[in-house]
Amino acid sequence: MNMITTTAIATAAIPTVAPAMPSPESARRTDNKLEKLFRRLELAHARAQELGDQARRLDDDPRKAACKATLSLCWSRELDAVILQRLGWEEEGDDISLNPSALRRLQSLRFKRHDVEDRVTELVAAQDELDALDLELGITAADKRYEDALEVCHRLVDQIKDVPATTLEGLKIKVKALCWCRTNDFGQIDQFEDDCETTDLKLAVSVVSDLLAMNAA
């Protein structure tokens, strides 16, 4: 067998590596799917924003802020320091907000000083008022609605990720979805390059930035 025949046989055995280019019709179908998913993402994002605003307004209720302030213990206050030491906390400079489980544990403890017992009673009353406000305003329910709306957005982004982009417009949609993951905004990437230390990742960020610029144009 001569060299030419051997080379021909070897070449024929090598599989084609480059994928076939999609037909224009196939590319349009892919783009249409991405566009539909992105429109759904835009609507889901708007809904999540609305629910998030509602949850934040409830969370900003001044009565809740007052309860939270009462439940904040500070090492610089003697009564609070006694309580924190009894709970086994190590001294730190930051204020500490007791959670309900810590408060339940605190209620089971007894202190020799009446002023400390009074402070414990104040803390328990503040938590009770906070729980009542939660029921009255529906704070936990509002937070749950917001989290569920965000989960819808995340599922749509996952679907966008799984659809291969076959055109420039499809790539732009994927970049918008990436921006949303990073900044909750379809047009901002926000310090993405600062998270990338190697040249290959910086090059990838450069591609994303270029596509964002095309979107803005």
Q: What are the tens digits of pLDDT across the range 7-62?
A: 333 334 334 444 455 566 665 666 899 999 999 999 999 999 999 999 999 999 99
Residue 141 lies in a domain: yes
One domain for residues 40 and 140: yes
- Is 177 contained in some domain? yes
- Boundary residue ending a domain (142, 163, 184): 163
Based on the domain organization, do 156 and 170 belong to the same domain?
Answer: no
Among candidate residues 117, 146, 163, the one where a domain is terminated: 163
Q: Which of 132, 148, 163 is the last residue of a domain?
A: 163
Whether residue 108 is contained in a domain is answered as yes
Contact 52, 146 (CB under 8 A): yes
**Residue 70, pLDDT score:** 93
Return the bridge partners of 73, or none: 96
State whether 80 and 114 are in the same domain. Answer: yes
Owning domain of residue 100: 31-163
Query: Is pLDDT at 136 greater than 60 in this prediction?
Result: yes
For residue 125, tell me if it sits in a domain.
yes
Query: Do 78 and 120 belong together in one domain?
Result: yes
Q: Please report whether residue 74 resides in a domain.
A: yes
Same domain flag for 109 and 171 = no
Residues 59 and 72 in one domain: yes
Quick one: 65 and 157 in the same domain? yes
| pLDDT tens-digit series, residues 61-117 | 999 999 999 999 999 899 999 999 998 888 776 788 888 888 888 988 999 899 999
pTM of the model: 0.69
Whether residue 85 lies inside any domain: the answer is yes
CA distance 163 to 40: 15
Q: Clarify whether residues 174 and 158 are in a common domain.
A: no
Q: Please give the tally of structural domains in the chain.
A: 2
Indicate whether 191 pLDDT > 80: no
pLDDT of 11 reads: 36
| 20 falls within a domain | no
Position 12 in a domain: no
C-alpha 89/C-alpha 102 separation (Å) is 11
Please tell me whether residues 80 and 136 are part of one structural domain.
yes
Which letter, b or e, does each residue of 67-102 get, where b requires 16 or more Cβ atoms within 10 Å of its Cβ? beebbbbebeeebbebbbeeeeeeeeeeebebeeeb
Whether 87 and 171 share a structural domain:
no
Q: Do 170 and 145 belong to one domain?
A: no
* Measured distance CA(180)–CA(173) in Å, rounded: 11
DSSP state of 196: -
Q: Are residues 74 and 155 in the same domain?
A: yes
